Every structure is written in structure tokens, then in C-alpha cells.
Amino acid sequence: MSIEPRARVAPERVLPGPVPLAPESAAQQRVVQRICDRVAPDGVDVGVGEVPPGGLQVWIDTPAPVGEQESWVLYHRMAREVALVGWHCEADADRLLVLGWSAACLHNRVRLLQSGLRRLTDFEATAQRAVQLDGQSPDQPAPQVVATVCASIERRLRWPQRLAELDGFERSSGLAHLQLLLAQVIGLEAKVRAACEEHLVMARVLARAVCEQYARHSDLSRARRDVLVESRRWVHASSMIRGSAGARPSTGGHGRPHMGLAERRIAASVINHGVPRATPAAVAPLVDHLDHAEGRALIPDPLNGER
């Protein structure tokens, strides 16, 4: 029998669990996820994870294996869209890496926003599309027609969806020159958002005016001509509808919905109880350039033109 003391047993080691993401990293991950989900085709799942010591990696998951060329194109398309936010990206056929802020990418975003603002000063295409009612029948309920028209205009403007992907993301940098660029970007984004809202205000008022005119005389062609002719006086005067992007309170279902300054001014020139103040003219041909809200500065989509 041994009389030597027993050795003490070392306590069981507890392995550390996963370290939670920092708030700024979690917010960046949500934004990258939204962008890549939009870019990815149907049936492709997108994963986003952290890469130590900093940055994110993006990968795709598909039921069937994807060819190297197809995955390369998809990752580079994602890289293009993510880089438009201002991040440096590196892509190959296996994954996409999203790293820190890039001064070159932020300068590019500034140019895109400035170009978008210049193009958003032209309301002609919005007016023409609004009076066409997006192919909807004016016999349908007016609120439904107006909502469909506004949704169509919003998709063609393209900026609202891209700006919505950044909701809840506070952008900052420890480097002074990058912080100045970020401040410029955020300021321009606010102006673009307001300009897009002005286009939606116009679409809402013109579509409603066409429905009201059609309800009076049941002539859709005449309603479109009358509303479009009346809009000629102010369709290019964007200064008339500045400051109209604020939220409008609900009326609780009583009477007409509240109209902001822009809508009152537009309605005053459009709604004339069926008596046109000018000789109706033919509706101008529809010009499809609302998708220029991004300034056409995007790199052409290698898969499908532009997305």
C-alpha cells in the first residue's frame, strides 16, 4: 500500500464561447447581407461571417454545385454593389472579402450621388409614367391604382431601395479624411432621399388626378392628356416642391388625406374640375430614363446588363 499523497487533479478547463460581434461589425454585417441578398439570384443562399482580425467574408450556398466561372461572376457582382457603399472589396471564385472604408470607393459614391441629384431635377419622365397608371385600369379603386404607380416609380428610381439597405447603420471612421468623406456621403444621401420623395409625391398626385378626371367623363385618353398638359407649367420647376419629403399625418379615415405643400401646389394646377386651361396636346412619348437616378455610373452587370 502506497503512503504517497495523491496528486491534485487540475480543474476542468472551460473553453471560451464565441465572441459576440461588436455593434458596428454587426451593423455592417446586416448591410452586406441585405445587399448580397438583393444581388443573388433566386435559389442562392448567401452567408456572411466575420474574418479576424477585421472584415467580413461572403459565401454562397446552392443546392447544386456552381461552376467556377458562374461563382466568379456572382462574387464580383456582389463586390461591385458592396463597394458602392464605400468599402474595399476583394473577390475571387470562392468568396468575397469586405474590408474597411476605401477613400476611392467613397469618392465614387460621392460622384454617383451628385450625378443622381442632377438627374432627379428632371420630373418629365415621372409625370409621363404617372399618367400612364402603370398599365392599371382606372376602374379599379383609386388608392390601389395610386399605390401601384408609386411602387413602380420607386423601383425605377432605384435609389430608395439602395438607401433603405443602410437603415440603422451608423457610419464612422477613426481617420479624419475618411470621416469627412463619410459626412459628405451621408449629407448627399439625405438630399437624394428627399429628391426621390418629391418624385413619389408627384406620381401620387398625378395618378390620383387621372383617376378623378376619368371618373368625371370616362375618357382615359382625355384624362391623361388634360393632366399631363396641366403639369407642363411646373413639371420642370423642382423648386416648387422642395421640402415636401416630410411625413404627412393621417386623417383617421375622415375626409381627404392630409396634403403637404407640394401636393397642394400640384393639385391646384392639375385638378380643374374637367375644364382644361390649355388646348390638349398629344401625350409625349414615354422616355425611360428614371433608372438614371444612379447616374449610369455603375459598372455594367456582366450577367444581365444592369441590376
pLDDT for 10 beyond 60: no
Tell me, what's the pLDDT at 74? 94
Please state the pTM of the whole predicted model: 0.70
Q: What is the pLDDT of residues 182-195, one digit of tens each?
A: 999 999 999 999 99
pLDDT over 70 percentage in the chain: 67
20 has a pLDDT exceeding 60: no
pLDDT digits (tens, 9 = 90+) for 119-172: 998 888 899 999 999 888 889 999 999 999 999 999 999 999 999 999 989 999
Q: Which residue has the higher pLDDT, 46 or 272?
A: 46
For 195-250, write each residue's pLDDT tens digit. Answer: 999 999 999 999 999 999 999 888 999 999 988 888 776 665 544 444 444 444 44
The predicted structure's pLDDT at residue 25:
79
Give the Cα separation of 85 and 80 in Å (integer): 9
Q: Give the span between the Cα atoms of 48 and 68, in whole angstroms.
A: 20
Read off the amino acid at residue 182.
Answer: L
- On the question of pLDDT at 19 being above 50, the answer is no
Least confidently predicted of 47-61, 79-93, 113-127, 230-244: 230-244
Q: 3-state DSSP call for residue 45?
A: strand
Distance CA(36)–CA(28), nearest Å, equals: 12
CB atoms near residue 108 (< 10 Å)? 16
User: Order of strands across the sheet with 56-61?
Assistant: 45-50, 56-61, 96-101, 87-91
Helix pair angle (220-231, 124-131), 10° resolution: 160
CATH number, domain 23-101, options 3.30.450, 3.30.780, 2.60.120, 2.20.25: 3.30.780
What integer pLDDT is reported at residue 169 of this predicted model?
A: 92
| Residue 9 pLDDT | 55
Q: Is 72 a residue whose pLDDT tops 90?
A: yes
Every domain of the chain and the residues it spans: 23-101, 104-245+258-285
Q: What per-residue confidence (pLDDT) applies to 68?
A: 85
Q: What is the pLDDT of residue 54?
A: 81
Cα 218 to Cα 67, 133, 202, 221, 273: the distances in Å are 56, 15, 23, 9, 14
Query: In whole numbers, what is the pLDDT of the chain averaged over residues?
Result: 77
